Amino acid sequence: MMVELDDNRISDSVLRIVVMASGEGSNLQALIDAIESGQIENMRIEALLCDQPGAHCIEKAIRHGISSHILPAPQKLKRSSPERRSYDERLATIADSYKPDFIFLLGWMRLLGQAFLGNFQRKVINLHPALPGTFPGTNAIERAFEAFNQGKITNTGVMLHLVPDEGIDSGPVLSVVEVPIYKSDTLSILEERIHSVEHREVVKLAQRLAYNRGLEEIQDREMREAQGAQGTQDQEILREKESEHASRIDIGI
């Protein structure tokens, strides 16, 4: 089910995206490739925010002319600490300077507090390599693989969800896909399969955002399509009943 965002308004013809990432940046690259190839129209990645100096996502962004900001943070920050709030405020100031329509967390490995999230209500979207309610936090793929080997699960998944608060991978779900795990899998094979699904789903959601001009429009469109499909189904059932009734009359029943 899609999530309605009543207060989201797209200010011009191009959706402005800020990406936040901490590592390799393969999902960032998938988004860049889809935009540059025309697979996604009317979307522009304005900036990358990264908390890890030397992360490969920075190279990818610079190579494609995307403004990059590296903001290292102390390794251990308590949620309520002034340092944590100050760091989140710095992130928010930089992100807000690009006036983003959405912020994509694509492998961002740090929890965000309200000092950041409060500035971007219903605009922050996180990618997580697990099904809703399972394996929140870090090392989700490894934990799913271990659970499979213990006979606890038969599949895992990928989801994209809104980030309204400091809950860990628990916001309203925008899209979810199950990913099977096979007995012949190694951890690296499962990781490759999940990353492939991640790339596809990030691009699909971005396409929907750009095409529908926001998430509330996605919901409205899908509701109309569902209602149309139900109406068509009802008409078919009615025609079948009328045909059955006519047949009974013809044979004198």
Dump pLDDT digits (tens) for 53-74.
999 999 999 999 999 999 998 7
Within the chain, what is the greatest distance between any pair of CA atoms? 86
CATH value at residue 100: 3.40.50.170
- Are residues 169 and 246 both part of a single domain? no
* 128 torsion bin: left (phi>0), alpha (psi -120 to 50), beta (else): beta
pLDDT tier, 80 (very low <50, low <70, confident <90, very high otherwise): confident
131 and 189 housed in the same domain: yes
**Which residues are known to be catalytic?**
128
Same domain (yes/no): 159, 247: no
Asked if residue 4 belongs to a domain, the reply is no
Q: Is residue 2 part of a domain?
A: no
Query: Once rounded to an integer, what is the mean pLDDT over residues 83-91?
Result: 94
Could you tell me where the DSSP H helices lie in 97-214?
114-117, 140-149, 187-212
Verify that 143 and 191 share a domain, yes or no.
Answer: yes
Coil, helix or strand at residue 161: strand
The per-residue pLDDT for range 105-162, each reduced to its tens digit, is: 999 999 999 999 999 999 999 999 999 999 999 999 999 999 999 999 999 999 999 9
Cβ neighbour number for residue 170 with a 10 Å cutoff: 16
Give how far the C-alpha of residue 250 lies from the chain's centroid of Cα atoms, to the nearest Å. Answer: 57
**Contact predicate 171/162, CB 8 Å:** yes
Residue 182 sits in the same domain as residue 77:
yes
Q: Are strands 102-105 and 155-162 parallel, antiparallel or unpaired?
A: unpaired
